[in-house]
Amino acid sequence: MDLLPPATEPPAGGGGGGGGAPAPGRRLRRGVGFRSLKMVSVSMDEPLPAEPVGVAYGRLANGLAYYVRSNPKPRMRAALSLAVKVGSVVEEEDERGVAHIVEHLAFSATSRYTNHDIVKFLESIGAEFGACQNALTSSDETIYELLVPVDKPGLLSQAISVLAEFSSEVRVSAEDLEKERGAVLEEYRGGRNATGRMQDSHWALLFEGSKYAERLPIGTEKVIRTVPHETVRHFYHKWYHLSNMAVFAVGDFPDTQAVVEMIKEHFGQKAPPSCPPPVIPDFPVPSHVEPRFSCFVESEAAGSAVVVSCKMPADRIKTVKDYRDSLAESMFHCALNQRLFKISRRNDPPYFSCSSAADALVRPVKAYIMTSSCRERGTVEALESMLLEVARVRLHGFSEREISIARALMMSDIESAYLERDQMQSTTLRDEFLQHFLHEDPVVGIEYEAQLQKTLLPHISSAEVVKFAANFSTISSCVIKIVEPHAHASLEDLKAVVLKVNTLEQDNAIPPWDEEQIPEEIVSQSPEPGSILDKVEHPGIGATEMILSNGMRICYKCTDFLDDQVVFTGFAYGGLSELSEDEYTSCSMGSTIAGEIGIFGYRPSVLMDMLAGKRAEVGTKVGAYMRSFSGDCSPSDLETALQLVYQLFTTKVEPREEEVKIVMQMAEEAIYAQERDPYTAFANRAREINYGNSYFFKPIRISDLKKVDPIRACEYFNNCFKDPSAFTVVIVGNIDPSISVPLILQYLGGIPNVGNAVQPLTRDDLKGLPFKFPETIIREVVRSPMVEAQCFVQLGFPVVLKSTTMTEDIHYVGFLSKLLETKIMQVLRFKYGQVYSVNVGVFLGGNKPSRSGDIRGDISVNFSCDPDMSSKLVDFVLEEISFLQNEGPSEEDVLTILEIEQRAHENGLQIQDEGRLKVREALTPQSMQMALQRVVPFPCRKQFTVVILMPKSSCWNSFKALLTWSPGGFSRDAKVVALNESVAGSVKSVFKPWEQRLDTSGGFLESNEGDPELLVFIPFTSDVKIKSISFVGGADGTSPSRMRALVSELYLFCYLTHLFVPLNRMFINREGIDFNDAQNMQPVQEWELAENLQGVLEYQTRYSRFQGVANLTLHFPENFGGDTTKIYYIGLRGEATQNKRDVVATIVYEIMPNPSDHKTKSETGGGFSHVE
């Protein structure tokens, strides 16, 4: 095997501002570096190295594995990790969520650290602690991660000692657990949004029949609330065995062996437990030939979507042949994604976007997943197009051009990785080693991998690529799911699509892919180069400034941060704030409409092929005060990137009816999705309150969309990028001026001057946004219908930076926001255990960015919490801010904030800011106290706003109120009736909270011996909308296999024709219904059921047919072969349509106002009048 070392390159020369200028000619040698990289002679059955290459790897005597590697990026940092090959799938029923709880407790207390001292340590060294930043728990593993500085003696050793504490010294006491329950519950609650519900439902369907379906890492609310600390401690000591763990250290330390010794010092003294390590069981996932289908109706969904998932056993790359197959697989998804993108850009496309990928879902299973977003009522069409395209590939394959493009894209990626092999981030390398430990992924080193790809990619044929399309077959353990905000498609519709496409494929009735012609050159005629009118060197920062003949100002700087990157941005003053209210809506849509048509002179689908194999991207942005373009490219593709900029300025985008129709349709769907989303309604109202109901901050409504003038929108966009003399362009990266300056002159200097300047503004000429923060205290509750109760709080304060102290106060605001975030987090999470995370945000765009006037904006504190605790937590926040204003922070607080800011700055901008340094030097507890009094109102309680998102009612509370309940539970006079129940009245026991669905201590519903049929009649005290039905059935064939829903057809007719007459006057509740009636009645909907023993499956209703339901009859005609049918639980998801409401005693903003909430004082005999 030929494994020549890479060609050596001369070191970078010094340069100002921290970035070295490349030596002359270095760019050319680097380009040759990859092209001259020799191929390797390999046989397909040759094994890849089992042990990782390029890392100190080994095992201690106690079984712990370690991976250590020196790496200079980021500077003076080390990426550490502790991985445990244990996740939620090993949990027992009473442990569901315990693996995740252990992860939380690790940061709470260990044998050496108590009361969240680990968090304080991390913050004291500048390693921020936050949600999802330091640890994660999945089905199969738990990972702890730290990114710590190593520039001070002892920091690295102490950080490794923290990981050692996690491995065996986590303290699990009753007190520790009680303190952390609230944070875990809030994380659980935060995941019960639309996205979480959709993901959980899909996960259960994917892994039905496997333990994975029942072991989501977050666990169950019941376990989180009630699990005893003994159970948590038992889990921790049983599974956290050193032989199941590995520690990782990758960072900017010179002596790898010294770090290995640190690991031995902190971990080596830990003796393995006396008991042998537990065997981690395999949890098989059964395959299935028949596809599974799901029509998931989610009223808060961001839009309609289709997901096609095809499961297969997870593969392991052991040989060169395996690696070649993985490359061919990647080429398949790459080529397929190119097609899917082009389809999405057709006139009247079947979907807005679509993509395909392979994903390792759990340890034994990976899946091919194809996902699309589409218009409402478009899921069936989208599914057909997705399946049809994969079938087309199976029949006709990919064209040679498609294969060449996929190959070029992959070759470009590996070339970039190879060229930047010395600038790879430590976190990237650490994660690569993690995959080796957890999943046995080979680590062969970037040099050998580049050689392998360069050797193998050119010889992978279209036939090799196409064979992977077979994995997308609907008979390959396929799960097809659609998500809709309203029910339109049925399971029968999805099955019909699968049958149709399969039939077309069997009959060879799908035509080949029709390729379109692609232009050869981006710029059809080379422009006349411009000239340099003026040139100034700035040696202090190593930059060169040029004024071109067309007026464009260029500033470039050569750096060596990344060998294969050039970044640039161009900006000009003048943006959306200059527009009148009448013009704003049309012009603000300009970027969206122009982007769909093509801002570089070509449709996006055509440009995609033209740029294949090149690394050149350019994007645009039109903001409040400026318009800009920015890009990223490889040094070898700088010409292509500059050509795109030239095309941006010289292309006149003209709207065409077809493209505009698509944009407007997408915009409509987005607006409807926002109107469904409780958080969007909350955010919109918060902006209205805090920013004075300014048109600039108002959301676009459907009525606004109808007023959009596409011609004016495109005209405005064209004018934004028309005049080169208004723009300043900054170019930074690995550039050789002898090559790049002529390209700049040709493509940027060649942009024609328009004569009359367009928007010739300086920042002092700009028009400020209409902005006014309320002068009084405002507390407002936004009540929104929610599927599950969520609560979000935003506490806002006005910020005014006076022009005389603005330069310093801008930096003070940054320090203060971090101080507030840290201190409020300590109070709300670590002291009271009521939140998962806290965010403090700053907005300073209320005034134009002038050198003279004041700057206005706001600072906001944001968190989610238990709805019942929201007001109390607001008081805690105000108390903490008041304390900081009156007493000031401690010296320790200031040192922590300084450390966090310094660590963030070190690996950010490399040019020192005098204002920042001045503030840092002056930062003391007293100066921060004075700044907090100066920047925000003092005292803080005299001017602020509080906006709280609250649920109108939770799903369970709505249904609990709608059924006939007594304070102690289900009353014995309730009218729920079951026919053929073996124990009279036992049906009442199956209606209970979801968390108690497996608890049969109160009884369960069972049919008579030898007769499996059951009929359940459910009356409601008010009309309801039913979104889904779930149940838990018995084992051993006693679970029902079919369910039929019966609703009065007369009532449905009256509902659909808006004839709202009380049901009990027009249709008598049929309590006397018998099985003959049930069998003869036409069901509103019928479901084929799975053996749902855990209740994780939900059966979605045809939502439009389950509106205004006053009673529901569920008919279970048969089971899976048992002598009796057993039902332990029946759950209904939905909401009331005629709730009786009390007078509202606070200002309430509602998405859908309830008239009964809007009573005046005279109507109610007292109380608060509602503000209209």
Query: Tens digit of pLDDT for each residue in 358-367?
Result: 999 999 999 9
Give the Cβ contact number of residue 355 at 10 Å.
Answer: 15
Q: Which residue has the higher pLDDT, 135 or 11?
A: 135
| Mean of pLDDT values over 48-70 | 95
- Looking at residue 828, what DSSP letter applies? I
Q: Say what the pLDDT of residue 347 is.
A: 85
Q: Which residue has the higher pLDDT, 520 or 859?
A: 859
Task: Write out the two tokens for 499.
Answer: 């049958």
**pLDDT at 918 exceeding the cut of 60:** yes
Q: Say what the pLDDT of residue 955 is.
A: 42
Domain 532-748 fold is Cytochrome Bc1 Complex; Chain A, domain 1 (3.30.830)
1150 is catalytic: no
| Mean of pLDDT values over 176-196 | 89
| Mean of pLDDT values over 869-885 | 94
pLDDT tens, residue by residue, 214-240: 999 999 999 999 999 999 999 999 999
Phi-psi region at 601: left, alpha or beta (left = phi > 0; alpha = psi -120 to 50): left
Q: Say what the pLDDT of residue 1062 is.
A: 31
Which range, of 262-266, 313-317, 1010-1014, averages the lowest pLDDT?
A: 1010-1014
CB-based contacts of 1055: which residues, under 8 Å, 6+ apart?
Answer: 1107, 1108
CATH 3.40.50.620 fits 292-507, yes or no: no
Same fold, 56-269 and 532-748: yes
pLDDT class for 416, splitting at 50, 70, 90? Answer: confident
d(CA 1028, CA 381): 24
Q: Which residue has the higher pLDDT, 907 or 1140?
A: 907
Question: Helix axis angle, 400-419 relative to 320-344, nearest 10°?
Answer: 120
3-state secondary structure 862-890: EEECCHHHHHHHHHHHHHHHHHHHHHCCC
* SS3 call for 122: helix
Q: Say what the pLDDT of residue 666 is.
A: 87
Could you tell me if 84 and 434 are in contact, meaning their C-beta atoms sit under 8 angstroms apart? Answer: no
* SS3 call for 281: coil
In the chain, the N- to C-terminal Cα span, in Å, equals 80
**pLDDT at 21 exceeding the cut of 70:** no
180 is catalytic: yes
Question: Helix axis angle, 256-267 relative to 155-168, nearest 10°?
Answer: 40
Phi-psi region at 320: left, alpha or beta (left = phi > 0; alpha = psi -120 to 50): alpha
d(CA 44, CA 319): 7
Could you tell me if 477 and 311 are in contact, meaning their C-beta atoms sit under 8 angstroms apart? Answer: yes
3-state secondary structure 458-481: HHCCHHHHHHHHHHHCCCCCEEEE
CATH 3.40.190.10 fits 778-904+916-951, yes or no: no
Task: Write out the two tokens for 1124.
Answer: 């009796």
Where b means 16+ CB within 10 Å and e means fewer, 412-424 reads bebbbbbbbbeeb
| Mean of pLDDT values over 635-661 | 92
Give the Cβ contact number of residue 611 at 10 Å.
Answer: 21
d(CA 337, CA 1043): 40
**pLDDT at 763 exceeding the cut of 80:** no
| Domain assignments of the chain as residue spans, ordered by start | 56-269, 292-507, 532-748, 778-904+916-951, 971-1136
d(CA 291, CA 359): 19
| Mean of pLDDT values over 1037-1059 | 60
- Looking at residue 108, what DSSP letter applies? T
| Mean of pLDDT values over 563-576 | 91
Task: Write out the two tokens for 992.
Answer: 């209970």
Question: Helix axis angle, 710-720 relative to 581-588, nearest 10°?
Answer: 80
Q: Say what the pLDDT of residue 1055 is.
A: 34
pLDDT class for 541, splitting at 50, 70, 90? Answer: confident
d(CA 855, CA 846): 7
Phi-psi region at 824: left, alpha or beta (left = phi > 0; alpha = psi -120 to 50): alpha
Give the Cβ contact number of residue 738 at 10 Å.
Answer: 10
Residue 154: Cβ-neighbour burial (10 angstroms; 0-12, 13-18, 19+): exposed
pLDDT class for 1066, splitting at 50, 70, 90? Answer: very low
- Catalytic one among 95, 103, 221, 639? 103
Q: Say what the pLDDT of residue 1070 is.
A: 40
Which segments of 1060-1153 are extended strands (E)? 1085-1088, 1099-1100, 1109-1116, 1126-1136, 1148-1150
Could you tell me if 1105 and 1084 are in contact, meaning their C-beta atoms sit under 8 angstroms apart? Answer: yes
Which segments of 101-217 are extended strands (E)? 135-137, 142-149
- Catalytic one among 95, 123, 165, 180? 180
pLDDT tens, residue by residue, 1082-1139: 788 888 888 877 776 778 887 767 777 878 889 999 998 888 999 999 988 777 654 4
Q: Say what the pLDDT of residue 944 is.
A: 95
Q: pTM for the full model?
A: 0.76
Q: Say what the pLDDT of residue 40 is.
A: 81
Share of the chain above pLDDT 90, in %: 51
Q: Say what the pLDDT of residue 1096 is.
A: 66
Q: Which residue has the higher pLDDT, 62 or 855?
A: 62
pLDDT tens, residue by residue, 282-323: 999 999 999 999 999 988 888 899 999 999 999 999 999 999
Q: Say what the pLDDT of residue 779 is.
A: 92
Q: Which CATH number fits domain 971-1136: 3.90.100.10, 3.30.300.90, 2.60.120.470, 3.10.20.740?
A: 2.60.120.470
Could you tell me if 554 and 571 are in contact, meaning their C-beta atoms sit under 8 angstroms apart? Answer: no
Q: Which residue has the higher pLDDT, 720 or 760?
A: 720
d(CA 561, CA 540): 18
Whole-number average pLDDT of the chain? 84
By C-alpha distance, which of 1114, 1111, 1130 is closest to 1013? 1114
Q: Which CATH number fits domain 56-269: 1.10.357.10, 3.30.830.10, 3.40.630.30, 2.60.40.10?
A: 3.30.830.10
Give the Cβ contact number of residue 1009 at 10 Å.
Answer: 9
Q: Which residue has the higher pLDDT, 96 or 810?
A: 96
